[in-house]
Copies of this chain bind each other. A is one copy, B any other.
Amino acid sequence: MFVDGGYDATPMTRIASAARVATNTIYWYFKDKDELLVAVLDRVLARALADAASRDQEPWADQLLWAVGQLEQFHRLVTVVHARAATSPVVNDWHESFHRLVDDILTDGFRKTGTPEESLRAMTQVGVFVVEGLLLHPHSVPDRREIIELLTRPQRPPAALDSP
């Protein structure tokens, strides 16, 4: 319901009645609405990661493109995570660990495709921002592909031009 209708727009009462319990019953399982959000986030991310693991041998850019395409369904969650992270420590923790995860994946990818070590950190940051931007603002498939390909294009000139 958070994914489809938005966090603010789905009151606890509606969640409870969908679960066929009284509203306050939710508070026996979750401390507050933010913890419920984090539970949803954990689920959604775990599924996406499990799916991604099955695409081990595809080229890096394709894997990334596919993952972004998957996660884009949840762009409503992305905006609310940013909004709630300022107030809720649990959401803030989740957000930070998500950033670390994306950071690690991108650092690895950029290093393997020959990004020079001295610009690796900044390049990764740019990558994180691009991923986040794509999640925040859904794009058409070709646009997404073009952006990801520009991002993941090897940094050094191709070997054919390097050797005489």
Residues of chain A at the chain B interface (Cβ within 8 Å):
6, 8-9, 76, 79-80, 82-83, 85-87, 99, 119, 121-123, 125-126, 128-130, 132-134, 136-137, 139, 143, 146-147, 149-151, 157
Interface of A is mostly: helix
Stoichiometry, copies per complex? 2
Nearest 10 pairs of A and B residues by beta carbon: A129-B133, A83-B83, A79-B82, A122-B146, A122-B150, A129-B129, A129-B130, A122-B147, A79-B83, A125-B147
- Is B129's CB under 8 angstroms from A150's CB? no
With contacts A79-B82, A79-B83, A87-B8 taken as known, whether A133 is within 8 angstroms of B123 at the C-beta atoms is no
Q: Are B150 and A82 in touch, CB under 8 angstroms?
A: no
- Please tell me which one of the listed residues B83, B128, B139 contacts residue A80 in the complex, with CB atoms under 8 A apart: B83
Q: Which residue of B lies closest to A80 (CB)?
A: B83
Q: Which of B133, B137, B146 contacts A121 (CB 8 A)?
A: B146
Contacts of A99 in B (CB 8 A): 137
